[in-house]
Amino acid sequence: MAARAIIAAMAYDHELADRIRELVATEKGVDEKRMFGGLSFLVGGNMSVSASGKGGLLVRVDPADVPDLLGDQVHTAVMGGREMRGWLRVDAEAVDDDACLAEWVARSISFVRTLPTK
């Protein structure tokens, strides 16, 4: 059982997490927390972006922008069988490029900064 817990705790892409960490290093009020099998980056207590335990990126965006952002490598996030409003799953291949990852992280942080601090 302990080995299974270790594997689950290491399921997210550590390299992707490091790349996100570099992008948010100069942002104020950003914290890291292991959540949902991944490593999440929170702004003002609100989850913004995560190196997902399912691979790729879990990113919070303005729900009004979701229809324009969906594509072959970008999908509405689903947890517990329910679509999560304003959350997207971005395939790992879509964020291989540093500029693409930076766009997603910036978009998410910008949106999350509009939310009330927790």
Residue with tokens 């991944």: 38
Tokens of 80: 């517990």
The contacts of residue 32 (CB under 8 Å, 6+ apart) are: 21, 39, 40, 41, 42
- List the domains of the chain with CATH numbers: 2-112 (3.90.1150)
Asked if residues 87 and 75 have their Cβ atoms less than 8 Å apart, the reply is no
CA distance 53 to 13: 7
Per-block average pLDDT, block size 10, for the chain (118 residues)? Answer: 46 93 93 92 96 93 97 94 96 96 97 94
pLDDT at 80: 87
Q: What is the CB-side half-sphere exposure of residue 94 using CA atoms within 13 A?
A: 20
> Please, which contacts does 91-95 make with residues 24 or more away whose CB atoms are closer than 8 Å?
91/55, 91/56, 92/13, 92/16, 92/55, 92/56, 92/57, 94/56, 94/57, 95/16, 95/56, 95/57
Which pLDDT value is given to residue 37?
A: 86
